[in-house]
Structure 1
């Protein structure tokens, strides 16, 4: 085959691969839009602000976490902004000042998340998620993972934790973060793709507690996430962007936990409605069979 023929073959294959990737991305975006999962981080903000009882776990951790956030962000900008700007200016040009800020904020957000989730807010986020489920009358589900006491305050009703799903920041997640970090060298688009990838990972972990309370196996959980990839990516991307906002990242960590719990409660409501509508039909079919 001539060199021109080889080049044509490579171009044709490249177009085919590009079309496949485009189709996958289009389907993913369509699924994300139809699911409306991207709304739950915002629903979480509204719900959190209008339900004062859910503020207790947040208020108990706010001062130490704000101090941690201030220290991390200040340190990252002082030590890493100029060196990264010097690199990005060669590929991003005038936009480098803006893209470097986004990069440093993303890096800071990751560090804050690692430190705070491991040492400061792990249990508080769990209380927030479980407390939100209780406010949505999903107490029986919460009982699968912890003791629930009597009373009217959803947080005060939370007893001893029997199962805790929140894992420490895994080396695998850190490796993936570093591996995709060079995407930020691509002007604007690269940063967007980087946030999107981080959002996909963030979204897939948003219902770890829910899956545990439902006692789903690893295979069932994987199948569910595969069927709803667009929805979880949409939720995770919005959650990631919100948690990148300086000094407000902790607040949004809690509101995102609320949003994830609201989403889980809606899934439960939908399943209950399906069971209630299906059961009479099954009974009717059984009578006819007799």
Structure 2
């Protein structure tokens, strides 16, 4: 299903006149990564193992919350919300070619929005039988959110260009 979600995400961006993001992401994907770069990325990712104790503790807390009826499900949804919000827009970050640092900066500027989106997505996806439907509606919602972000970004770029032209006159 991830491939279908990618197609839906890309289709919505294209439908909403943001083909440039989709095309640049696909062009970037076709480049082969040299072996030396792959090896250095693996070596650099070894530092991510330092978060293992945090992840184990977080998993234990989520497990214990899952034992509490009703309230536990809401706590789990809230704990997982920021990650779910970022995961929903992972395709956008890939298409834009954003680094981990750029993603962190973007996340910090829009943290409440990511928590809100992730909370609603987690709660909807926890409903049995309907969760398959909500996986796709969450993808569509994330894509439409990206359309809004891209429109704002392009509008800001146009405003900056206009300000530069006014200053030069």
Fold equivalence (TM over 0.5): yes
For residue 146 of structure 1, report the CA deviation from its aligned partner.
2.8
For residue 144 of structure 1, report the CA deviation from its aligned partner.
2.0
Paired with 1:285 and 1:145, the residues of 2 have a C-alpha distance of 34
* Preserved contact between residue 26 and residue 95 of structure 2 (Cα < 8 Å): no
Which position in structure 2 is the counterpart of 1:145? Answer: 25
Please give the secondary structure, in 1, of the residue aligned with 2:88.
Answer: coil
For residue 137 of structure 1, report the CA deviation from its aligned partner.
1.1
Please give the secondary structure, in 2, of the residue aligned with 1:246.
Answer: coil
Which position in structure 1 is the counterpart of 2:8? Answer: 128
**Which aligned pairs between 1:30-41 and structure 2 lie closer than 5 A?**
none
Paired with 2:65 and 2:154, the residues of 1 have a C-alpha distance of 43
Which position in structure 1 is the counterpart of 2:108? Answer: 226
**Which aligned pairs between 1:231-242 and structure 2 lie closer than 5 A?**
231-242=113-124
Paired with 2:68 and 2:96, the residues of 1 have a C-alpha distance of 42
* Preserved contact between residue 16 and residue 147 of structure 2 (Cα < 8 Å): yes
For residue 187 of structure 1, report the CA deviation from its aligned partner.
6.4
Paired with 1:189 and 1:246, the residues of 2 have a C-alpha distance of 17
* Preserved contact between residue 177 and residue 198 of structure 1 (Cα < 8 Å): no
For residue 182 of structure 1, report the CA deviation from its aligned partner.
0.6
Please give the secondary structure, in 2, of the residue aligned with 1:216.
Answer: coil
Per the normalisation by structure 1, the TM-score is 0.46
Which position in structure 1 is the counterpart of 2:145? Answer: 263
For residue 174 of structure 1, report the CA deviation from its aligned partner.
7.9
CA 1:243 to 1:191, structure 2 compared with 1: closer, same or farther past 3 Å? closer
CA 1:234 to 1:162, structure 2 compared with 1: closer, same or farther past 3 Å? farther
Candidates 149, 155, 161, aligned match of 1:273: 155
Higher helix fraction (1 or 2): 2
Paired with 1:146 and 1:279, the residues of 2 have a C-alpha distance of 27
1:206 maps onto 2:96 in alignment? no
CA 1:181 to 1:252, structure 2 compared with 1: closer, same or farther past 3 Å? same
Paired with 1:268 and 1:195, the residues of 2 have a C-alpha distance of 28
Which position in structure 1 is the counterpart of 2:164? Answer: 282
Please give the secondary structure, in 1, of the residue aligned with 2:168.
Answer: helix
Structure 2 portions without partners, runs of 5+: 32-51
Structure 1 portions without partners, runs of 5+: 1-120, 148-160, 164-171
* Preserved contact between residue 84 and residue 118 of structure 2 (Cα < 8 Å): yes
Paired with 2:95 and 2:69, the residues of 1 have a C-alpha distance of 42
* Preserved contact between residue 130 and residue 142 of structure 1 (Cα < 8 Å): yes
The size of the alignment, in residue pairs, is: 146
CA offsets per residue over residues 46-94 of structure 1, 9 Å max, x none?
A: xxxxxxxxxxxxxxxxxxxxxxxxxxxxxxxxxxxxxxxxxxxxxxxxx
For residue 190 of structure 1, report the CA deviation from its aligned partner.
4.1
* Preserved contact between residue 184 and residue 190 of structure 1 (Cα < 8 Å): yes
